[in-house]
Chain A
Amino acid sequence: MNDPIIKFDKVIKRFGDLTVLDELDFEVGRGEKVSIIGPSGSGKSTVLRILMTLEGIEGGVVTVNGEPLWHEEGPDGLRPASEAHLHKMRTQLGMVFQQFNLFPHMTVLRNITEAPVKVLGLSKAEAKGRAEELLELVGLADQAQKYPHQLSGGQQQRVGIARALAMRPNVLLFDEPTSALDPELVGEVLNVIGRLAEEHDLTMLLVTHEMRFAREISDRVCFFDQGRIREEGTPEELFTDPKEDRTREFLKAVLD
Chain B
Amino acid sequence: MLFGFEWDLSSPAAYAASILPILLIGMWVTIQATVIGFIVALVLGLVWAVLKAAPFRIISWPATVMTEFIRDTPLLVQLFFLYYVLPEYGIVLPAFMTGTLALGIQYSAYTSEVYRAGIEAVAKDQHEAARALNLTPARTFTHIVVPQAVPRIVPAMGNYLVSIMKDVPVLSVVTVLEMLNVAKIVGDRTFNYLVPLSMVGGLYLVMTLVASAGVRLLDGWLPKQGIPLK
Q: Contacts A118-B139, A119-B135, A167-B134 given; indicate if A54 touches B229 (C-beta within 8 A).
A: no
Q: Contacts A101-B129, A118-B139 given; indicate if A106 touches B229 (C-beta within 8 A).
A: yes
| Contact pick for B148, options A104, A145, A147, CB 8 Å | A104
For B136, the chain A residues whose CB sits under 8 A away are 118
User: When chains A and B are docked, how far (Å) is the Cα of A129 from the Cα of B15?
Assistant: 72
Is B57 interfacial (CB 8 A cutoff)? no
Q: When each residue 92-111 of chain A gets 1 if its CB lies under 8 Å from chain B and 0 otherwise, what string results? A: 01110101011111110110
| In the complex, chain A residues 69-122 whose Cβ is within 8 Å of any chain B Cβ | 87, 90-91, 93-95, 97, 99, 101-107, 109-110, 114-115, 118-119
Is B132 interfacial (CB 8 A cutoff)? yes
Number of interface residues of A (CB under 8 A): 31
For A115, the chain B residues whose CB sits under 8 A away are 133-135
| In the complex, chain B residues 122-144 whose Cβ is within 8 Å of any chain A Cβ | 125-126, 128-129, 131-136, 139, 143-144
Q: How far is the CB of A50 from chain B (nearest CB, A)?
A: 13
For A87, the chain B residues whose CB sits under 8 A away are 134
Number of interface residues of B (CB under 8 A): 22
Is B169 interfacial (CB 8 A cutoff)? no
Task: Find the A residue at minimum CB distance from B151.
Answer: A105
| Contact pick for A97, options B128, B135, B148, CB 8 Å | B128
Residue pair A97, B134 in contact (C-beta under 8 Å): no
Residue pair B132, A119 in contact (C-beta under 8 Å): no
For A103, the chain B residues whose CB sits under 8 A away are 126, 129, 144, 229
User: When chains A and B are docked, how far (Å) is the Cα of A149 from the Cα of B225?
Assistant: 8
Task: Find the B residue at minimum CB distance from A116.
Answer: B133
Residue pair B131, A105 in contact (C-beta under 8 Å): no
User: When chains A and B are docked, how far (Å) is the Cα of A82 from the Cα of B164?
Assistant: 46
For A205, the chain B residues whose CB sits under 8 A away are none
| In the complex, chain A residues 126-181 whose Cβ is within 8 Å of any chain B Cβ | 145, 147-149, 163-164, 167
For A91, the chain B residues whose CB sits under 8 A away are 134
Q: Which positions in B face A, CB cutoff 8 Å?
A: 125-126, 128-129, 131-136, 139, 143-144, 147-148, 223, 225-230
Q: Which positions in A face B, CB cutoff 8 Å?
A: 52-54, 87, 90-91, 93-95, 97, 99, 101-107, 109-110, 114-115, 118-119, 145, 147-149, 163-164, 167
Supplied contacts A97-B128, A106-B229, A167-B133, 4 more A-B pairs, CB within 8 Å = A52-B128, A90-B131, A101-B129, A115-B134
List, sorted by A's number, 21 A–B pairs whose CB atoms are closer than 8 Å: A52-B128, A54-B128, A54-B131, A94-B132, A95-B132, A97-B128, A97-B132, A99-B125, A102-B129, A103-B126, A104-B226, A105-B226, A105-B227, A114-B133, A114-B143, A115-B135, A119-B133, A119-B134, A148-B225, A164-B133, A167-B134
